[in-house]
Amino acid sequence: MSSITYLESQKDEYRILDQWLKAREYVYVGKDVKRIDALDKVTGRARYVEDFLVEGLTYARIVKSDIPHGVIEWIRPGRAVEHPDFIALVTCEDIPGLNQVGYYIPDQPALAEKKVRFHGEPVALIVSSKPDSLEELRNLVEVEIKPLKAVYDPLEALKDKVLVHEEHGSNIVLRTKVKKGDVSKALENTDYVVENVYKTGYQEHAYLEPEGALAIPMDGGMTIILPAQYPHLAQSIIARVLGYPQSKIRIIQPVIGGGFGGKDDMGPIIGAQAAIAAYKVRRPVLLVYTREDSFTSHCKRDPAYIRYKSGANRDGKLTFVDVEIIFDAGAYANRGPFTLWRATAHATGPYEVPNVDVRGILVYTNKVYQGSFRGFGNPQVQFAAERQMDELADKIGIDPLEFRLKNILRIGSRISTDQVLEDSVGVGEALVRVAEKCGWFEKRKKYGKIVDGKARGIGLACAWHGISTSRGVPDWCNAYINVSKDGSVSIYTGIVEIGQGTHTGLIQIAAEALGIPVEKINLIGGTTDAPDTGATHGSRGLSFGGVAILLAASKIREKVQKVASRIFECKPEDVEIRDGWVFEKIKPEKRISWEEAVKRCYAEGEELSATGYFFMPKGKFDEEKGQGFAYIVFSYMVSAVEVEVDLETGLTRILKVWPAICAGKIVNPKLAVTQIHGATVQGIGYTLMEEVVIEDGKIVNTNYTDYLIPTISDIPEIDEPIFVEDYFKFGPMGAKGLAEMALIPIPAAITNAIKHAVGVKPSEIPYTPEKLYRDLLRRMRE
Amino acid sequence: MSQNKNINLGYINLFNTHIIPVKFNYHAPQTLEEALNLLNKLKDKARVIAGGTDLIVDMKLRRKEPEHVVSLNKIRELDYITVDSLGVKIGAIVKLRKIEKEKIIRERFPALYEALKSMASIQVRNMGTMVGNICNASPAADTAPPLLIYNATLTAKSLNNERKIPIEEFFKAPGKTALKEDELVTEIFIPYPPQDSHSTFLKITRVGMDLSKVSIAVLTKFNGSIIEDIRIALGAVAPTPLRIRRAEEFLKNKPLTEENLKIVQEIVAKEIKPITDVRSTEWYRREVAKVLVKDALMKCLEEEGGR
């Protein structure tokens, strides 16, 4: 991996990370420390965005387009002005800065301007003195939109008969490419070839708390209490919209009721909308999306259409993979360029494939736009890749597990982009251990037979997921730590607590590095008061946010060691700090307290604050050739699933799931288990139940009566996870990303198990009982 | 979690506890007479609330915006389950969960017991009432098919009148019943099913706690291998829950052979009028209704065999 650039200026940081990686034995890391926010949450003391009361508060709601594609003729408050609670109608004309909240491509307005491009697009904001009258006021607003022809099907949109963005000249947002070897030559010399089309649907984040923002004009700027996943991104987008310098925007995170990626995109957008309204009315504005608004107007997981052709030889070795991926971007590009790139790079699955040709197309349509969602473009393509592996294994006549093991990535393997994996590849071991635990070979033999109208099956799937940004896209983290005179410690990080428990894990890392109990540490997170730490997405919160905290804390530790070494008359590196005590390693009985050591530092001119900036080493990717550096490291996941299918109704019951994860060092096993459980269940919903129903561009199931997510009675037994701790050299104590992983293999694992049970070949998710039943009938006729 | 030096954190924003966005007058009469008086006065301006598991949701979504809400919850005289030699009487404000826990229901009305047990979550069953489930008149109301096969009767009272309505005549359309605007259902009477009969309830849902895609209740009484009495009711497959009389007539005095079973399945598929909606498709509902008819009848037959 000579193509990776290491920075001379970060040599010290590399050294510190290496030290902690080699320690291997830890006091706080690797332990089930109780979540710091648990008590507040279960006692109702936790404060969500709606729980803040500020003086002069006003309330806002979005006014939405009821047309999927059209030209805005006019927007007027109409009879709303006569209402005693009416304060203002806010439109794009009230925006002091740029009406632009696009993420990568500047194509998305904060409030629609001239055109609307999807049903439910916010065109205005209504501001009221009371929340109770918002709905009434919103209905009084007059919006006149002249309808244009709309396009909903991405394959139809490719023909460019209707343009979603005329200025772009085409509905194709962009194309992606990964290429290795020569696919057409390989095809000629391949024994077995399988070709299929796979389709995946939208998925709604379904967080308990919908989007909200409280914007408060103050101190000559704007403070926004905002459930977001990257405060500094929200800050920069809101600054752009208001025409303020970034430093005048302050973001504070309240307790957040779930994110799953959705609030990474929606935080800046709703924050900008609330800020625009607050700017106009010169009072604090609380903007909350109702559940229905959240369904109609916030981004979803990108639907995908995947043409997949792959081949293998008699010896069970993959020869080539040839894939076309079409991602439905919806009305705006948002994260599409990145979810699609991720899908493109991961399309082979975690296997060594000598010849690869993957082409991605991102297409605009007149539907709600796509966005970040746990897995970020990868669950779609792993579904295709891992279904395809089972179909190929079938064709060769080999066990799907053995087929995978023959091709699985190992240290030294070349991935789809031709990057060589240098270390931290535990997936092969995970496969073997999962198979052992679930009784793979026995059940593959025993199941697949119909008993009383029902049949059991077992299936498995792998997933790999690049950690940190892709290609050469810069990625950094930072944190600021300050030790108060009494020895207590404040940590400032931009990493956001969205319910995943990361703040607890971060405190564990700090406690480890400083050698003090977790109770002495206070973490202030998710705020622009902290240095720019990057986003809490891509499973990087704990792994990457933790690097910064480990570095900052280690710098402070070294200062305390230095001062203490003068007391003990020894070398600084011989000073140990543990459990709040400072002592010389060989003479632990002669010790001083942490507080005493801190006092000495203050008295002797040793600064006890530090930042922990780290810039992730990156390589180069050649977009022309479709080759080069993809990701610094990958996490891996294997899940086996046992199902029972009722052949008369098409109902699938999941009996048990066996997960194994390769996420390096596990910082807090209990938290890891909760993430694996949550992601598995979210994957089950994605695979079998969750369906956004769109009629003429309009989402019709905008509540939980009609959009179904798994309930407690749908959740199967999930086995104790297998942790394959394949340490990563640039993670804190070797940790990699974890939170997204368990969702990614679930669609293929379940559908592979269904195939094993009843012989159908699922190619579309959600694979509802209706679809399974239809496929069963078709199979019976054949 | 963050420090917000300029923001007053002392108060909770109480406005946000207002989950119903409409104004209404709330009445909580202490006696049945008071309630009937109110209904007599307010007529269609009022909505009756017991558990509120349907009405509150509708009001929150502004599907219903009543000027007045009349709560029955303080009327203790409506909170009873009485058992006598003819059957069971259940008052209007008895919670679903309480009925489900009643021994007599489990033992003598197994189809109703199964339906109750399958409904929503325990939390919702601790709020909702059976009379409410029936009066809401959802085609998918889970207690409707069992009450239909048990030939339940509703007591409807107004200030000046009282009448009995057989459950089969109660449902008119989705959300519409035979009830007049000043009337209140005060009681459901469920007569005991015939001696040595068997009854069961089945349903298909999308997820564990969900409205039915299709539900069914069946009652059978065998005389040897011959079916002496048969009742079949389905939910969520037509504008109202319904008895399938034609199927019943066909099976009466016949043995439950494979051939007869097939004919009954076809009759049911013909009699129902399912629709395609977000929960399922017309085609699938029809297919699965057939499966449920078979499963329910077979379950009854098994019980007969095991007796």
**Number of inter-chain CB pairs under 8 A, A vs B:** 109
What CATH number is given to the structural domain containing B60? 3.30.43.10
Contact B279 A700 (CB under 8 A): no
Domain that holds residue B130: 78-191
Inter-chain residue contact B2 with A524, CB threshold 8 Å: yes
Would A654 be classed as within a structural domain?
A: yes
- Nearest CB to A525: which of B1, B4, B6? B1
Q: Is residue A418 part of a domain?
A: yes
- Which residues 118-137 of A have a C-beta within 8 angstroms of B? 130-132, 134-136
> pLDDT-derived band of residue B211, with 50, 70 and 90 as boundaries?
confident
> What are A640-685's pLDDT values in tens digits?
999 999 999 999 999 999 999 999 999 999 999 999 999 999 999 9
At residue A79, what are phi and psi to the nearest 5 degrees? Answer: -80, -5
Predicted pLDDT of residue A1: 41
Joined together, the tokens standing for residue A123 give 């065109």
Q: In what order do the strands lie in the sheet with A70-76?
A: A115-116, A70-76, A142-147
pLDDT of residue B6: 45
User: From CA A506, how far away is CA A525, in angstroms rounded?
Assistant: 10
Number of H helices, E strands in chain A: 19, 35
A176 vs A201, A349, A366, A407, B163, CA distance in Å? 21, 17, 22, 25, 72
Residue of A nearest to B282 (CA): A770
pLDDT of residue B4 exceeding 80: no
Are B104 and B62 within one domain? no
**pLDDT score recorded for residue B19:** 66
pLDDT at B10: 41
Torsion of CA A372, A374, A377, A380, to 10 degrees: -140
Pick the last residue of a domain from B14, B39, B71: B71
Do A640 and A722 belong to one domain? yes
Distance from CA of B282 to the nearest CA of A (A): 10
B 37-66 residues inside an 8 A Cβ radius of A: 57, 61-62
Q: Is A712 on the interface with B (CB under 8 A)?
A: yes
- A54 close to B (CB below 8 A): yes
Question: Mutate which of A43, A53, A690 to test chain B, going by most B C-beta atoms within 10 A?
Answer: A53
The answer to whether B285 faces chain A, any CB pair under 8 Å, is no
Same domain, A403 and A348: yes
Q: How close A255 gets to chain B, by Cα (Å)?
A: 7
Residues A225, A100 share a domain: yes
Residues A503 and A626 in one domain: no
B34 and B96 fall within a common domain = no
Residue B14: closest C-alpha in chain A: A51
In the sheet with A318-330, reading across from the earlier edge strand, the strands are A172-180, A355-364, A318-330, A304-312, A192-200, A764-765
Q: Nearest-CA neighbor of A743 among A667, A653, A677?
A: A677
CA distance B291 to chain A (A): 7
SS3 helix, strand, coil % of chain B, rounded to 5?
A: 35, 25, 35
Work out the end-to-end distance of chain B between its first and last CA atoms, rounded to an integer number of angstroms. 64
> How many structural domains is chain A composed of?
3
Q: Where does a domain end: A591, A615, A639? A: A615
How far is it, in rounded angstroms, from Cα A166 to Cα A160?
Answer: 10
Nearest partner of B23 among A132, A129, A58, judged by Cα: A132
What SS3 state is found at B228?
Answer: strand
Taking an 8 Å cut-off on Cβ atoms, the answer to whether A52 and B9 are in contact is: yes
pLDDT one-digit tens code per residue, A363-390: 999 999 999 999 999 999 999 999 999 9
Give one DSSP letter per residue of A337-404, joined into a string.
Answer: HHHHHHHHHHTT-SB--SEEEEEEEEEE-SSPPB---TTTTHHHHHHHHHHHHHHHHHHHT--HHHHH
Distances, alpha carbon A264 to alpha carbons A2, A5, A198, A298, B187, in Å? 33, 29, 28, 11, 53
Q: Once rounded to an integer, what is the mean pLDDT over residues A513-529?
A: 97
Nearest-by-Cβ selection for B209 from A254, A523, A711: A711
**Which among A132, A497, A506, A695 is the top mutation candidate for probing chain B, defined by the most B β-carbons within 10 Å of its own β-carbon?**
A132
Beta-strand relationship, B176-177 and B184-191: unpaired
Q: What angle do CA B255, B260, B261 make, to 5 degrees?
A: 105
CB atoms within 10 A of CB B257: 10
Looking at the structure, tell me whether residues A240 and A267 fall in a common domain: yes
| Residue A72 confidence (pLDDT) | 98
d(CA A273, CA A292): 18
pLDDT of residue B15: 53
pLDDT above 80 (res A290): yes
Q: Residue A503 is part of which domain span?
A: 476-615
- Choose among B62, B204, B283: nearest Cβ to A649: B204
Contact A176, A625 (CB under 8 A): no
| Residue A578 is assigned to a structural domain of this protein | yes
Q: Is A83 exposed, middle or buried (0-12, 13-18, 19+ CB in 10 A)?
A: middle
**In chain B, which residues have their Cβ closer than 8 Å to the Cβ of A710?**
207-208
* Distance in Å, alpha carbon of A525 to nearest chain B alpha carbon: 7
Are B207 and A37 in contact (CB < 8 Å)?
A: no
* Tens of pLDDT, residues B81-123: 999 999 999 999 999 999 999 999 999 999 999 999 999 899 9
Q: Is A139 on the interface with B (CB under 8 A)?
A: no
pLDDT exceeds cutoff 50 at B3: no
Beta bridge partners of A5: A618
User: Which whole number is the average pLDDT over A13-23?
Assistant: 96
| Region for residue A121 given its phi and psi (left: phi exceeds 0; alpha: psi -120 to 50; beta: otherwise) | beta
pLDDT of residue B307: 58
Asked if the Cβ–Cβ distance from A132 to B18 is below 8 Å, we say: yes
Instruction: For residue B295, give the chain A residue with the closest CA.
Output: A648
C-beta atoms of B8 and A651 within 8 A: no
Q: Which helix (H) or strand (E) holds A567?
A: helix A541-568
Q: Where is the domain boundary, A234, A258, A288?
A: A288
The answer to whether residues A577 and A629 belong to one domain is no
Last residue of a domain, one of B20, B37, B71: B71
Distance CA A728, CA A272 (A): 37
d(Cα A556, Cα A603) in Å, to the nearest integer? 15
**Quick one: which of A91, A67, A498, A97 has its CA closest to A266?**
A498
Supply the mean pLDDT for chain A.
96
- Pair B252, B263: CB distance under 8 Å: no
Q: Are residues A496 and A545 in the same domain?
A: yes
d(CA A737, CA A633): 10
C-alpha to C-alpha distances, A587 to A90, A575, A576, A600, A601, nearest whole angstrom? 69, 10, 10, 20, 21
- The residue with tokens 């905008």 is A702
Residues of A in contact with B208 (CB under 8 A): 710-714
Out of B23, B207, B295, whose CB is closest to A708? B207
Each residue's pLDDT tens digit, A433-445: 999 999 999 999 9
The answer to whether B280 contacts chain A (CB < 8 Å) is yes
Considering the domain architecture, whether residues A318 and A437 belong to the same structural domain is answered as yes
Does B276 contact A at CB distance below 8 Å? no
pLDDT at B208: 75
Measured between CB atoms, does B19 come within 8 Å of chain A?
no
Which chain A residues touch B16 with a CB distance below 8 Å? 50-51, 131
Nearest to A460 by CA among A749, A763, A762: A749
- Sheet with strand B68-71: strands edge to edge: B25-27, B68-71, B46-49
Q: Has residue B188 got a pLDDT over 70?
A: yes
- Between chains, do B288 and A52 touch, taking CB under 8 Å as contact? no
pLDDT digits (tens, 9 = 90+) for A350-364: 999 999 999 999 999
Domain-ending residue, one of B71, B93, B120 = B71
**Residue A416 within any structural domain of the chain:** yes
Spatial strand order in the sheet of B153-158? B81-83, B87-91, B184-191, B153-158, B161-166
Q: What is the CATH classification number for the domain harbouring A686?
A: 3.30.365.10
Q: Which of B207, B209, B295 to mutate to test the interface with A (most CBs of A within 10 A)?
A: B207
* Residue B51 backbone dihedrals phi, psi, to 5 degrees: -80, -30
- pTM for the model stands at 0.93
Provide the pLDDT for residue A91.
98
In 3-state terms chain A splits into helix, strand, coil percentages (rounded to 5) of 35, 25, 40
- A711 and B CB contact within 8 Å: yes
Asked whether the beta carbons of residue B13 and residue A53 sit closer than 8 angstroms, the reply is yes
Using CA atoms, how far apart are residues A401 and A640, in angstroms rounded to an integer?
10
CA distance B218 to B148: 9
Least Cα distance to A421 among A388, A384, A464, A383 occurs for A464
Together in a domain, B251 and B172: no
Give the CATH number for residue B231.
3.30.390.50
Do B134 and B233 sit in the same domain of this protein?
no
Q: Do A573 and A647 belong to one domain?
A: no
Looking at the structure, tell me whether residues A419 and A501 fall in a common domain. no
Do residues A354 and A388 lie in contact, with contact meaning Cβ atoms separated by under 8 Å?
no
Task: Please state the domain count of chain B.
Answer: 3
Inter-chain touch A51–B16, beta carbons under 8 Å: yes
- For residues A194 and B261, give the distance between their C-alpha atoms in angstroms, rounded to a whole number: 43
Distance (Å, rounded) from C-alpha A515 to C-alpha A518? 9
Residues of B in contact with A454 (CB under 8 A): none
Residue A137, burial from CB neighbour count under 10 angstroms (0-12, 13-18, 19+):
buried
Chain B residues within an 8 Å CB radius of A769: 204, 284
Is A154 among the domain residues?
no
Residue of B nearest to A704 (CA): B210
A238 within domain boundaries: yes
Tokens of B233: 């009711």
Average pLDDT of span A579-585: 96
| B281 interfacial to chain A (CB closer than 8 Å) | yes
Q: A58 in a domain, yes or no? A: yes
Segment A598-623 shows an average pLDDT of 96
Q: Is residue A648 situated within a structural domain?
A: yes
A549 CA to chain B: closest CA distance, Å? Answer: 17
| CATH at residue B170 | 3.30.465.10
A 627-656 near B (Cβ less than 8 A): 648-651
Q: Residues with Cβ < 8 Å from A182, sequence gap 6 or more?
A: A355
Question: Chain A contact for B296, CB < 8 A?
Answer: no
Per-residue model confidence (pLDDT) at position B18: 55
* Closest alpha carbon within chain B to A255: B1
Side-chain-side CA neighbours of residue A778 (13 Å): 11
For residue B305, the model assigns a pLDDT of 82
Same domain, A456 and A483: no
Closest chain B C-alpha to A24 CA, distance in angstroms: 32
Facing residue for B1 by CB, picked from A57, A497, A707: A497
pLDDT score for A2:
44
Same domain, A464 and A490: no
Note whether B212 and B244 are same-domain residues: yes
**A69 has a pLDDT exceeding 50:** yes
Name the residue among B140, B16, B108, B33 with its Cα closest to residue B78: B33
Query: Within this chain, do residues B48 and B82 fall inside the same structural domain, yes or no?
Result: no
Q: From the CA of B9, how many Å to the nearest CA of chain A?
A: 6
Q: Sign of dihedral through CA atoms A599, A602, A606, A609? A: positive
